[in-house]
Structure formats: structure tokens, C-alpha cells
Amino acid sequence: MDDDEEKEKEHFQRVCNSFAYYRIHTLKRVARAHQNYSLLPSSHQKILHDFLPHLERIKEAADANYRFILQLLVASRGMFVNSGMTDDVVPPIDPVTGRVIDESVPLASGVDMDKVTTTVKQFYRDWSIEGEAEREICYHPIIEELQMRLPLSSERPVSVLVPGSGLGRLAFEIAKLGYQCQGNEWSMFMLTASHFMLNHVKGTNVYTIHPWLHHFCNNLANEDQLQTVRIPDVDPHSMPKGSHFSMAAGSFTEVYTEPNVWDCVATCYFIDTAANVLDYVETISNILKPGGYWINFGPLLYHFADMPNEKSVELSYETIKRAMLTHYGFQLIKEVTNVPSTYIQSPKSMMKMTYNCVFFVVQKPFHAS
């Protein structure tokens, strides 16, 4: 393998190791809670008679999540069969216990473990009935506008690109309607999870997971931390025969360079993942066909803001809109601001973060100005 392939393999190895480290990571957090409890005065420990049993239930839930993650890890073997990667990137699993051999799993960073736990919560958002409320707020208006602006026709197919597709539900729903749809994702954590869900899971309510297990704060009741959801709420293999649905891995601006290819680009909670959001605007302007639509929903959290060694530029929405309309020539078709939306939010948490999102539809001009 060349240097780039070797680096890609090392990165995928790190992702697999992080998933494999999930159980150890969670049990360490439980052990810390147990240790802090043991330091309380004995009189206080007696008052908190249900605390230790609750920690035991967390450990049981961690095992349940871990068994699910192991299925995901096993499915990741062969993900990159044409790229030179081999199965040795997946940590060895004990054939008797079904667990990753702990001694073989290196320590994972806190940042990577945050990505693992976020991925677990993404299953709630994209593939559970409980996550439908979140999906309805942001996916529904995108699909509604797509159907209105680009109705399906027997004369020609309509191509839709969904960059930042996460676990693939929005792209899945668009393709299920009959559009030629491709999801694009850069995060290897998300790609591993979406590959498992879209290619290896058949049926509904196959797995039960605890998405909020890692939330030790803002719980109204102990049971809130142990909430379960069953996934998936729809069969990922229920795509109609003849559907055109694919997923592409890699950086959006590097993968998509061919001009005038797509009828629509649909972005949801995506444009703020750029260090320079104008790179995204420029790429979308280039790859859309003349007259094509860009439909967007989301906030401007800016994922690289204040990160060391990252050259992030944080622009206001009005600045982005001005660039879209005046420099890139987009025509503003629809705009709604301050649309309240949550993102992988526990419905029972005592703390809820709500984004006031912007929803817009713009059209690429038919002719260059």
C-alpha cells in the first residue's frame, strides 16, 4: 500500500479499536462512580441504598450495547475489500465469550470514545421509532421540497446527493421514493455504523440498545439513563426493486468534483462541518446541474471552531446567504429561519439543547451570468 492507503488503514484500525474499547470505557466510568460513592460517609451511603444496584444495571446495559457493537464490528470486515485493507484491522473476538479479547484492545482517546457514544445515539435518531420526532422536523421539509421542485418522471431519473449522510436514513428515504440517491459520509465511525445497518440488518426491531447510558447527569429518574430503543423501525432491505441507492466514503469537496452532475443536493446538519463553509457552497454550485436545487436544513455550530491547529472560519448565515446569491448566483426560492430542532436529544433529559435552524431552498441559474 502507498502512504495514503497505509494512513487510511491506520485510521480505520483506530476506529475499530475505539468501538472494541466501548465496554472497558463504560465500565471505567461506572468504577469511578462506585469509587466516589465509597468515599461518602456511611450514613449517606445508607440513604443511597439504590445507588449500587443502579450501577449494576448500567453494567448490564453496557454489556447489551457492547454485544450490539460487536455485531457492527464483525460486519465491518470486508468493508473495504477493493482498497487493500484486510480483516486484521478488526480486533480479535473470543469465540467462546463473543467478546473482543480485552488484552488486544489498545487504550482509546477520549475524543474517539465520544465519537463512539455519539454513534450509538445516532442509531436512536435515524433508525428508531422514538427518533421519528427529530427526523420529522428536519427530514420531512427536505423531502417535501424535493418532491415539489423535482417530481419523479418516467422520462428521466432525478439524481439527489446527500452529503454528511450519517447513518443514511435521509438518503434511504429519498431513494425509497424512487430518486437516484447517493449518501456521502466522511466520518469512519458513521460509515462503519451505516454499512452495518444498510447492508447487514434485515427486518425490524432486531436490536435493543441503550442510547443514553453514558448520560450520568440531568436524569430525572434512574430509569431515564437506562432507556431502551429498538432498531431499526423500518427494514433497511425494504427498498423497492430497481431502486438506485448508494453510499460514498470520503471528503465531500474531494469526492465530488465533476461539474453539472446532480439535480439536487440535500444537506441536513451538514454545512457547519466545514472549516471553510464557502468550500461547500462552491462545490455544490459546481456539481449541481443548471437549474438544480440545493435544499438545506440546520444550524451553524461550526465543528472546527476553537479546535487547536484548525483554521476554521465561522460565518453568519447572512454572510453565507450573501455569498450564495451575489457571488455564486443562486436564486433564493424559500427561506425559513429560527426553526427549532433538537439533535440526538434524550426526550427525558432535564437539559435540552434546541437549535434555531435555517431552512432554505436555492436554485442554480440555468445560464452563467
187 and 254 fall within a common domain: yes
Q: Which DSSP helix (H) or strand (E) runs through 304?
A: none
Q: Worst-scoring range by mean pLDDT, 54-58, 70-74, 195-199, 319-323?
A: 70-74
SS3 state at 309: coil
β-pairing, 331-341 vs 355-363, is: antiparallel
Q: What is the mean pLDDT of residues 246-261?
A: 97
- The alpha-carbon radius of gyration of the chain (Å, integer) is 22
Retrieve residue 98's grid coordinates. Answer: 463473543
In the numeric block, which cell numbers belong to residue 311? 483554521
User: What was the pLDDT predicted at 83?
Assistant: 47
| pLDDT value of position 85 | 47
Q: Which residue has the higher pLDDT, 144 or 91?
A: 144
Residue 291 gets the label, from left (phi > 0), alpha (psi -120 to 50) or beta, of: left
Same domain, 210 and 263: yes
Residues 141, 63: one domain? no
pLDDT reported for residue 10: 87
* pLDDT > 90 fraction of the chain, expressed in percent and rounded: 83
* pLDDT for 307: 87
Q: Is this structure's pTM higher than 0.85?
A: yes
In a domain, 120, yes or no: no
Q: Is residue 115 part of a domain?
A: no
Task: For residues 335 and 344, give the distance between their C-alpha atoms in angstroms, rounded to a whole number.
Answer: 24
314: cell is: 465561522
pLDDT for 367: 78
Q: What is the mean pLDDT of residues 317-329?
A: 97
Same domain as 282, residue 141:
yes
Q: What are phi and psi of 368, to 5 degrees?
A: -65, 140
| Nearest Cα to Cα of residue 134 among 288, 320, 328, 342 | 342
Which residues, at least 6 apart from 222, have a Cβ–Cβ distance to it below 8 Å?
50, 54, 57
Give me the chain's average pLDDT, please. 93
Q: Which residues pair with 340 in a beta bridge?
A: 356
Which residues are CB-contacts of 44 (< 8 A; sequence separation ≥ 6)? Answer: none
Give the chain's domain count: 2
For the segment 313-336, the average pLDDT, to the nearest whole number, is: 98
Quote the pLDDT of residue 104.
Answer: 64
d(CA 195, CA 179): 20
Question: 63 and 169: one domain?
Answer: no
At 183, the pLDDT band (50, 70, 90 cuts) reads very high
Percent of the chain clearing pLDDT 70 (strictly above): 92
Same domain, 168 and 81: no
Q: List, for residues 4-61, the tens digit of each pLDDT value.
A: 788 888 899 899 999 999 999 999 999 999 999 999 999 999 999 999 999 999 999 9
Residues 224 and 157 in one domain: yes
* pLDDT at res. 17: 92
Question: Could you tell me the residue range of the domain that residue 35 belongs to?
Answer: 1-108
DSSP for 137-179?
HHHHHHHHHHHHHS---SSS--EEEEES-TTSHHHHHHHHTT-
Burial of 177 (0-12, 13-18, 19+ CB in 10 A): middle
Domain with 291 in it: what CATH number? 3.40.50.150
How confident is the model at residue 227, as a pLDDT? 98
Quote the cell numbers at residue 139.
427530514
Q: Are residues 277 and 144 in the same domain?
A: yes
In which band, very low, low, confident or very high, does the pLDDT at 84 lie, cut at 50, 70 and 90?
very low
